[in-house]
Structure 1
Amino acid sequence: MFITSTTMANRAPTTIVDVATILPVEIMLAETFSTRDLYCNFISTIDDTIRFLATRRLLSNSKECDNCHIAMSLTRRASISDGKQWTCKECRKNVSIRAGSFFQNSKLKLTQILDIVYGWAREHPQNEAARDAKLGEGSTHTIVDWYNFCRDITEQHLVDNPTQVGGFDENTLLSKTVEIDESKFFHPKYHRGQWREGHWVFGGIERGSGNCFLVEVPDRTENTLTPIIERYVLPGTIIISDGWRAYRNINQIGGGIYEHEVITHEENFVNPDDPTIHTQNVENMWMRAKRKLKRQCGTSEALFTSYLHEFIWRNKFKSRDIFSALLVCVREQYPV
Structure 2
Amino acid sequence: MAKHPDIELDTTAVFKSIIQMLDSLPDENTCRQHLEKLRWNGQPICPKCGSQRDNHYKLKQKGEFKGLYKCKDCRERFTVRVGTIFESSHIPLRKWFTAIYLFAAHKKGISSLQLHRDLNVTQKTAWFMLSRIRHSFANNVEFEFDEITQLDETYVGGKNKNRSKKKKVSNTQGRSLKTKVPVFGMLSGGLVYVKVVKNTRSKVLTPIIEAKIKKGTVVVTDGWNAYKRLNKSYIHHVIKHNEGIYKMGAYHTNGIEGFWSLLKRGTTGIYHAVSPKHLQRYCDEYAYRYNTRHMKDGERFNLSLVNSDERIKYKDLIASN
User: Secondary structure, in 3 states, of the residue corresponding to 1:326?
Assistant: helix
User: Secondary structure, in 3 states, of the residue corresponding to 1:201?
Assistant: strand
Q: Distance in 2 between matches of 1:110 and 1:323?
A: 14
CA gap 1:61/1:133 in 2 versus in 1, 3 angstroms: farther
1:201 paired residue among 168, 183, 203: 183
2:281 paired residue among 299, 306, 312: 306
- The answer to whether the Cα contact below 8 Å between 2:58 and 2:65 also exists between their aligned partners in 1 is no
- Which AA in structure 2 matches 1:327? L
1:262 matches 2:268: no
Q: Which runs of 5+ in 1 are unaligned?
A: 1-16, 168-175
Q: Distance in 1 between matches of 2:42 and 2:35?
A: 9
Q: Distance in 2 between matches of 1:205 and 1:39?
A: 35
TM-score where L is the length of structure 1: 0.69
Q: Distance in 2 between matches of 1:60 and 1:146?
A: 27
- The answer to whether the Cα contact below 8 Å between 2:135 and 2:310 also exists between their aligned partners in 1 is no
User: Secondary structure, in 3 states, of the residue corresponding to 1:215?
Assistant: strand
Equivalence for 2:225: 245
- The answer to whether the Cα contact below 8 Å between 2:111 and 2:270 also exists between their aligned partners in 1 is no
User: Secondary structure, in 3 states, of the residue corresponding to 2:246?
Assistant: coil
1:282 matches 2:265: no
Equivalence for 2:315: none
- The answer to whether the Cα contact below 8 Å between 2:221 and 2:237 also exists between their aligned partners in 1 is yes
1:292-323 Cα shifts (integer Å, max 9, x gaps): 22235534413212111212222222222332
User: 1:221 Cα deviation (Å)?
Assistant: 2.0
The 5 A counterparts of 1:1-336 are 31-41=14-24, 43-57=25-39, 71-73=56-58, 75=60, 77=62, 84=66, 86=68, 97=79, 100-102=82-84, 103-122=86-105, 123-135=109-121, 139-155=122-138, 158-159=139-140, 161-165=141-145, 167=146, 176-187=147-158, 189=160, 192-193=163-164, 194-195=167-168, 197-206=179-188, 209-253=189-233, 258-271=234-247, 274-295=248-269, 297-301=271-275, 302-320=277-295, 321=297, 322-330=300-308
CA-based RMSD of the aligned residues comes to 3.6
- Which AA in structure 1 matches 2:269? R
User: 1:150 Cα deviation (Å)?
Assistant: 0.3
CA gap 1:276/1:84 in 2 versus in 1, 3 angstroms: closer
The structure, 1 or 2, with the larger RCO (C-alpha pairs under 8 Å, 6+ apart) is 2
Q: Distance in 2 between matches of 1:311 and 1:181?
A: 16
CA gap 1:129/1:268 in 2 versus in 1, 3 angstroms: same
User: 1:143 Cα deviation (Å)?
Assistant: 0.8
Equivalence for 2:314: none
114-123 vs 94-103, which moves further:
94-103
User: 1:33 Cα deviation (Å)?
Assistant: 3.6
1:186-227 Cα shifts (integer Å, max 9, x gaps): 155175444561011222211xx3211222222222222221
- The answer to whether the Cα contact below 8 Å between 1:242 and 1:264 also exists between their aligned partners in 2 is yes
- Which AA in structure 2 matches 1:144? W
- The answer to whether the Cα contact below 8 Å between 1:202 and 1:217 also exists between their aligned partners in 2 is yes
User: Secondary structure, in 3 states, of the residue corresponding to 2:39?
Assistant: coil
User: 1:148 Cα deviation (Å)?
Assistant: 0.5
Question: Matched residues, percent identical?
Answer: 20
Q: Distance in 2 between matches of 1:333 and 1:306?
A: 12
Q: Distance in 1 between matches of 2:69 and 2:219?
A: 60
CA gap 1:58/1:132 in 2 versus in 1, 3 angstroms: farther
CA gap 1:314/1:164 in 2 versus in 1, 3 angstroms: farther
CA gap 1:22/1:40 in 2 versus in 1, 3 angstroms: closer
User: Secondary structure, in 3 states, of the residue corresponding to 1:57?
Assistant: helix
CA gap 1:280/1:39 in 2 versus in 1, 3 angstroms: same
- Which AA in structure 2 matches 1:265? H
Q: Which runs of 5+ in 2 are unaligned?
A: 1-7, 49-54, 169-177, 312-321
- Which AA in structure 2 matches 1:307? Y
Q: Distance in 2 between matches of 1:87 and 1:240?
A: 53
TM-score where L is the length of structure 2: 0.72
CA gap 1:177/1:40 in 2 versus in 1, 3 angstroms: same
Q: Distance in 2 between matches of 1:94 and 1:247?
A: 53
Q: Distance in 2 between matches of 1:213 and 1:86?
A: 38
